[in-house]
Structure 1
Amino acid sequence: MMANGVSSAKPLHVLVSIPSGPTGQGGIDRIMASLKKELDREQRADIDVRFLVSRGSGHVALSGLYVIGFCLRMLAARVAGRADVVHINISSYGSTYRKLLIAAFTRLLGIPYILHLHGSEYRLFWKDDTSFLSGRIRSMFERAARVVVLGRTWRDFIAGRAPGATEHIAIVPNATEIPTLAHVGDGESVHILFLGRVGERKGVPQLIDALHEMHDHPGWRATIAGDGDVEASKSRSTALGLGDRIAFPGWVGPAAVASLIASADILVLPSFAENLPVSVIEGMAAGLAVVATPVGAVEDIIKDGETGFLVPPGDVPALTDALLRLVNDPALRARLGSAAQAVHRECLELAPFAETICNIWKASARR
């Protein structure tokens, strides 16, 4: 039996840590859910993957139980000869504390592991100092078989903090599948869409300020979708007279996200900190005009004025100007959206992403 040209006689057994599982709302869970979906679709015989929860969706106090459970499953898989590589998704703070334990246990069992960095605020979390914690994080990265990062800025950051990992860093940007719903836009009004956690880090207060500046301009409406400070943001938008222009549906599932993207014309994400946001890639996949900030690895996929607009974080006048230009100019929206979609098809599609990850698993197992 063959799959992708590789014999299925002896599949590579991979364990993947995910925070909350397929119903998780975070970017890591969504990316890993997409990866699982693609691997299931391909029905690969050369790779046997199990996605195991390492944090859980409940109170953080219970996360230790999931770490213990993950390690016990890893031990059982090792004893059964079904643990060749462990793929550890990692973010900052609690995620890193848990992954320090998992990585240490993985080394104890003699299993190669991969660190896949997703945290948007890892620069703030991992201090450039000689503290015990910084030393343990450095050792964890340097002892990994591979370190996967989402863009050039994160490659440089890890190489600076953990020089011993430099030769094993791989840049693999996030990816999404091609939308199944046709993009139709909003028709008579221009639909501005925000997808993400509603709060200060994502720049929602500044977005509301920019939309307030556009209040007297006709022909647009906005949706701010996501969990977080929803009620406070909704109350503020109502107080500013935007109650009939901005919808706050709260957290929405994959089907609703697909429908919102299909009806949108502009995807906006004015964040102060990101790694490589999935919502921007989803907007690019659908051919939306994107307005974002040059944080994290966003500049790797958005070129200002070519595949979207980049505005400085917190700069309300610049954000207002970019949104108004797109609202007023359908041809500009179409040009930027088409260019963004071309980048997605070339670099950010799900199938090549899955193939790259599989090749990293194989290389890590050989090492």
Structure 2
Amino acid sequence: MGGLRDELARQGGAGLNVRFGATRGPGHIALSPLYLGGFLLRMVGLKATGRLDVVHINLASAGSTYRKLQIARFARLLGVPYVLHLHGGDYPNFWKGDQTALSRNIRKMFAGAARVVVLGDTWRNFVISRAPEVTENIVVLPNAAAQPTLPHVGGGERAHILFLGRIGDLKGVPQLGEALHRMRHLPNWRATIAGDGHVEAARAKAAEYGLAERVELPGWVNGARVAELIASADILVLPSFTENLPLSIIEAMASGLAVVATPVGAVPDIVKDEETGLLVPVGDVEALAAALTRLVEDKPLRQKLGAAALRLHRERLDLAPYAKAVGEVWIRAAR
């Protein structure tokens, strides 16, 4: 959403008057009711002054859904159409489609949406399986990332393997550590595993594997540092167990990195095995190590996959066409 806001500003609003607001907000979770209440009051004020045509609701699991149920209900009361934008990678485990009150309310929220935006065909099929009545209102729109501001230079003589994400089991970091351990005999690589989460445990494991000098774990890094890491990397690896459509993969593609990922969520929509990256089975350490070894040892293959990924980004995953597509969704929803 930050990228979308910047792109709309760059385009001069693209003929739209868009306001962004938080319902969770920074700081302690106890403060979120204040942000939610403020958002609802803002909706009332805008509606009363004739300045609210459509509400865009970003949706994920747990607390996000509980807040967004209130916003959707409020929008219906005000007679304002709303767009649901599903981001949560674990949503099938959260919205079980049973007869509980939560599942019924989520289905009502989806059924009341003027448009439902999902990030890939997998998610379109999932939503239809839970709420068939929304089939005609679903729009498949992958995430997008801006073109990089830093030139891609890569890792030089040693291939630089990069992981970006929360360090823990769901992102497959234990499997990544084991795969790198199996590659320790190869001299021409180094790795950076960046993100928050179980950082100290991962550092301890790297030391146990004898990889402390080759694997850097800087912890959480800001946007500027992420850009530097991508510019200096050759391979982006994300062996997750669950995802929707990770922005880190799209950012890597924007710089022409070769991608190794698992076929979860909408990842296979953009990472085509042997075409725009390499796909490995979830939890398969041997396959992960083999894919990374191939890319470390075969520079032409890295370059071929990275070039194809770069072309895909410019054609489908850049922010400029994304902002236009989102704007079209809003306009249709408001009719």
* Shared fold (TM-score, shorter chain, > 0.5): yes
Q: 1:90 aligns with which of 47, 51, 59?
A: 59
Change (3 A) 1:325 1:45: closer
Q: Name the counterpart of 2:33.
A: 64
CA distance in 2, matches of 1:348, 1:241: 38
Of 265-274 and 79-88, more deviation after overlay is shown by 79-88
User: CA-to-partner distance for each residue in 1:53-110, whole Å, 9 max, x for gaps?
Assistant: 1101222222122111110111111112111110000001111011001110111111
Partner of 2:303: 334
Q: CA RMSD in A?
A: 0.9
Cα deviations across residues 100-123 of structure 1 (Å, max 9, x unaligned)?
A: 011101111111100000000001
What letter corresponds to residue 258 of structure 2 in structure 1?
Answer: A
Shift of 1:45: 5.7
Alpha carbons 2:84, 2:116 under 8 Å: kept:
yes
Aligned residues: percent identity? 61
Gaps of 5+ in 2: none
Q: Residue in 2 aligned with 1:356?
A: 325
AA aligned to 1:293 is T
Distance 1:45 1:285 in 2: 23
Shift of 1:128: 2.2
Give the alignment of 1:159-174 within 5 angstroms: 159-174=128-143
Q: Does the Cα contact within 8 Å between 2:7 and 2:319 map onto a contact in 1?
A: yes
- Return the alpha-carbon distance in structure 2 between the equivalents of residues 35 and 79 of structure 1: 27
Match of 2:225 in 1: 256
Q: Alignment partner of 2:20: what SS?
A: strand
Instruction: State the one-letter code of the partner of 2:238.
Output: L
C-alpha distance in 2 between matches for 1:284 and 1:171: 20
State the shift of 1:365 in Å: 0.6
1:206 match: 175
C-alpha contact 2:167 2:197 (8 A) present in aligned 1: yes
Count of residues in Structure 1 that have an aligned counterpart in Structure 2: 335
Check if 1:120 corresponds to 2:89: yes
- Looking at structure 1, the residues matched to 13 and 21 of structure 2 have their Cα atoms a distance apart, in angstroms, of 19
Deviation at 1:46, TM superposition (A): 1.8
The secondary structure found in structure 2 opposite 1:148 is: strand
For residues 22 and 82 of structure 2, the distance between their equivalents in structure 1, rounded to whole angstroms, comes to 16
Partner Cα distance (2:80, 2:168) in 1? 39
Q: How does 1:116-195 map to 2 (within 5 A)?
A: 116-195=85-164
Q: Which runs of 4+ in 1 moved over 6 A?
A: none
CA displacement at 1:349 relative to structure 2: 0.8
Q: 1: distance between equivalents of 2:87 and 2:108?
A: 18
AA aligned to 1:106 is A
Q: For 1:291, what is the secondary structure of its paired residue?
A: strand
Three-state SS of the structure 1 residue aligned to 2:218 is: strand
| Structure 1 equivalent of residue 241 of structure 2 | 272
Q: Is residue 77 from structure 1 mapped to residue 50 from structure 2 by the alignment?
A: no
SS at match of 1:256: helix
Which ranges of structure 1 fall in alignment gaps of 5 or more residues? 1-31
Amino acid at match of 2:16: I
Q: Give the structure-1-normalised TM-score.
A: 0.90
